[in-house]
Structure 1
Amino acid sequence: MYVGTDVAGCTGTDVHRAHYAWGAWAALREVQEFCESHCWLAEIHQFTCLWSPDSLDAMQGWTANQYDDCIMQIKAWTEKLMNVEQSFTTSNKLLTVDCAVLHEEIVHELDSINTDILRFLTSEVEQRAESWILELKRAIESLSITTSDIEAFGHYTNMVEHYQNMTADLHQQLEYVRSLHERIRKNYRQLSGEDEAMEEQMLDLWDNFVPLLRVATETVSSQLPSKVDAVDATFNTLSQELQDVVFLATSGKFLDVSQSSAEMLGELQAMSRQFHSLAGQLYGLNRTKQSLKGKPLDLSFIPSAGRKLDTRKAVWELLHISKQKINDWKQLPFHKAFIVTINF
């Protein structure tokens, strides 16, 4: 055979070298096969190398299932690494691959990442729970206060509508915190006494909030028609009062320049204060009407009415100042004047 003829023609040293080369090649082939069968280590290595504090920030708002997937993946990797032998030796004992680093470093890194996730998850739950509890306490306190004042009732109506729109989101936040608690319990440890007390407090607040919001909704629904009627009636009354003020200020004696400018100006200033007070009440009613019905009142007449009043007041201010100047001038002593006539 070709091989036999070749070996027969070789020296003892050549045969030894060929045998060693063949053994080295076989050993390298086994090592290569070992590496190929452990190619999954590359994914773990990449994961640990890319891990940073930013990785935790990116987890904010994760669903419970996303936390589950990540935690279970790390656990699966850790178990798989622990099953890898400390070393691998080729069948011909020529090469040995030291795998101790997998246990000493990568498993340790995965454990550290797992601890980071637990710490972050615990902090995330606490912050969300505290924020939710504060919101529910504020809601319960606000919904418990009822009033007969029209403006306050408008604010109350807005608040009830606000919490009606938020109910689904608030319930979702409650369930989210509970689901994260369950992930801590399932994957890491039993809940602490503080964790359990916080969750119990959240459930108690929710049990108080839901019926209270239902009662508040019924209250708004039953009282809304009468409150809207009251707003409209008050609006008509105040509107008429405001227009009466402007009419008085722009007619009658306020058109008579023979009247005392000081007295007229004093009355107009008082009427101006009354006008602004009425206008402020009307704007307040407008906000209340929008809270109750979502539609504004027609207040377009206020600016034009205000300009009429301001114009009349400005005329009397000018007249008053002019009269004062004339009177002051009349009080000045008369000085002899020399008139020089120039003939051309």
Structure 2
Amino acid sequence: MLREVKEFCREHHWMTGIHEFLKAWGPQKLESMRGCPIKNYVMLVSCLNVWQTRVSNIPNKLVTKGRLMLLSCHHVQLEMESKLDSIRRDILTHVQNECRTRSQQLITELRDFTEVFQGINSDIDAIARCSQKLNEANEQYNMLEERMEYIQSLHEVIRNHFSLFSDENEALDISLLDVWEAFQFEKSQASEFLLSKRYAIVPKLQQLIAAALVELEGLIDKALSGPFMDPTQEQRSTERQLISLERQFQNTASHLSELHHAYTLQLR
């Protein structure tokens, strides 16, 4: 009788590993997986599926020879199956939330790029903004593409390992693909436009940069002369005027920075 029980326990010793996993599982485990390689999700879900099958195949009970002892596994089996199923649902919810959050964030960033590209025209300020945005897009392109591929892989995990893809998932997937294609197209169009206008843009940018520098020098001269250097002037009035001059200076300096950046890009 004792030998039969020991043999049964030896054959099902693998349940100990599952039990330890179930005890250690919690919200912090899922949080630690955020942004992890896709293979980690696949491996975890595959393990859960294998364990679920093995647990469901455990005999409900062991009756020793001579019916001297009855060893019931029913409650342990039900508890483990329930916890494994619950973890599976947790992972699905987590992956769906990851898809939603990452997709919405990437869509917002791509639309921001696209709107600037679509708004390009012969206005030099629009050209300067577009040049800077195009440079950012080129520098970030590999990272944006990696994020796009990661989201697509998360969608594949839901499709292939949970056999579930809701209307919301489908709509978000389509929306992201549409925005990505629009971003690539408008980026290409903006690049071609800037290249075609290059010889006209450079002299104009030089003129605007020179004018901005003159304006900055004028603001500095104004702040260091006249009533601002007279201690007899009313303090509050002088302070308000200086604050106004400072805002003008900052705005002009910011505009100059954009112009200079656009000019540098045109010379590459």
Q: Report the TM-score, using the length of structure 2 for normalisation.
A: 0.77
Q: What is the Cα deviation at residue 98 of structure 1?
A: 1.6
- Whether 2:9 is the aligned partner of 1:35: answer yes
In structure 1, distance between residues paired with 2:31 and 2:57? 32
Q: What is the Cα deviation at residue 240 of structure 1?
A: 7.0
Largest Rg, 1 or 2: 1
Q: Which residue in 1 is equivalent to 2:124?
A: 150
Q: Which residue in 2 is equivalent to 1:232?
A: 206
1:47-95 residue CA offsets vs partner (Å, 9 max, x unmatched): 1111111122112113332211111111100100111101123335433
SS at match of 2:65: coil
Q: Which residue in 2 is equivalent to 1:316?
A: none
- Whether 2:114 is the aligned partner of 1:140: answer yes
SS at match of 2:13: coil
In structure 1, distance between residues paired with 2:16 and 2:216? 81
Q: Aligned pair count?
A: 244
Q: Structure 1's 134 and 290: CA in aligned 2 closer, same or farther, altered over 3 A?
A: closer
Unmatched tracts of structure 2, length 5 or more:
222-243
Q: Which residue in 2 is equivalent to 1:210?
A: 184
- Whether 2:256 is the aligned partner of 1:285: answer yes
Q: Structure 1's 150 and 220: CA in aligned 2 closer, same or farther, altered over 3 A?
A: same
- Alpha carbons 2:59, 2:73 under 8 Å: kept: yes
**Among the aligned pairs, what percent are the same residue?**
27
In structure 1, distance between residues paired with 2:151 and 2:27? 22
Q: What is the Cα deviation at residue 239 of structure 1?
A: 5.8
1:287-340 residue CA offsets vs partner (Å, 9 max, x unmatched): 411343179xxxxxxxxxxxxxxxxxxxxxxxxxxxxxxxxxxxxxxxxxxxxx
**Equivalent position amino acid for 1:134 in 2:** T
Over the residues paired in the alignment, what is the CA RMSD in angstroms?
Answer: 3.3
**Equivalent position amino acid for 2:155 in 1:** H
In structure 2, distance between residues paired with 1:169 and 1:127? 17
1:187-232 residue CA offsets vs partner (Å, 9 max, x unmatched): 2233222222221222222222212111112223333454333233
In structure 2, distance between residues paired with 1:73 and 1:243? 69
- Alpha carbons 1:242, 1:279 under 8 Å: kept: no
Q: Structure 1's 162 and 237: CA in aligned 2 closer, same or farther, altered over 3 A?
A: closer
Q: Structure 1's 89 and 156: CA in aligned 2 closer, same or farther, altered over 3 A?
A: same
Q: Structure 1's 244 and 207: CA in aligned 2 closer, same or farther, altered over 3 A?
A: closer
**Equivalent position amino acid for 1:40 in 2:** W
Q: Which has the higher helix share?
A: 2
Q: Which residue in 1 is equivalent to 2:95?
A: 121
